[in-house]
Amino acid sequence: MTHSKLTPKQEAFAQHYALHGSATAAFRAAGYTTRSAKPETVHRRAIEVMQNLKVAARIEELQLRVKERAEHVFDITADRILQELAAIGFANLQDFFTLDAKGQPEFSVKRLGRHHWAAIGELTVDEIQTGNRISKRTRFKLLDKKGALVELAKHIGIDGDKQKHHDDMIQNAADQLIAGVDQFAARLEGKLRGDEASADGTPTTH
């Protein structure tokens, strides 16, 4: 249902952003742009939509609702999310192996705690028969460390969209300052030339 104060696209943008936290993804999901649009254009326009006071207020409202429902209905808290993301993001292969008598790495199930298991996305145990001997080979795959670290970065305030927006603001301010300095220098140069012409007795035109 569309919020009465927003257009359908603005409501879709707010809904998507409240759940996923990406302005550019929300901008695309709301149907503001096409796949062929330049990334920098999408980013700039997405920030403009997010800074709309009505949209910003709606995002805040939705985020609060999501937070309350997550905590009260599903017992999902920020601490639990960070704990799970940290288990994936900081998983280290050294935590999963011990060295046997020959110094070879050996997968050790007994030493794994719950946070270790949280980082494993796939575990396969194969039986290998060599003559009359049957041995087991364990293979496992860790979950996406990079993705988990990116999400952790968002939670602690290192947000790519916000950082780029901050950098753009700094760059714009610098550009305006440089333009102002150039204009002042041009006026000063013109004044100095006028003063020199007057000192030489050359008539000046104003």
pLDDT at 206 over 50: no
Q: Where are the domains of the chain?
A: 8-76, 86-144, 159-199
Which of 49, 54, 61 is closest to 23 using CA atoms? 49
pLDDT of residue 73: 81
| pLDDT tens per residue, range 113-128 | 888 888 888 888 888 8
Q: How many residues does the chain have?
A: 206
| pLDDT tens per residue, range 32-86 | 987 778 888 888 999 999 999 999 999 999 988 888 887 888 787 778 888 888 8
Give the long-range contacts of residues 128-135, CB within 8 A, separation 24 or more: none
Split at pLDDT 50, 70, 90, the class of 199 is very low
| pLDDT tens per residue, range 160-192 | 555 555 555 555 555 565 566 566 566 666 655
pLDDT of residue 7: 92
Our CA angle for 151, 154, 156, nearest 5°, is 115
CB neighbours of residue 161 within 10 Å: 19
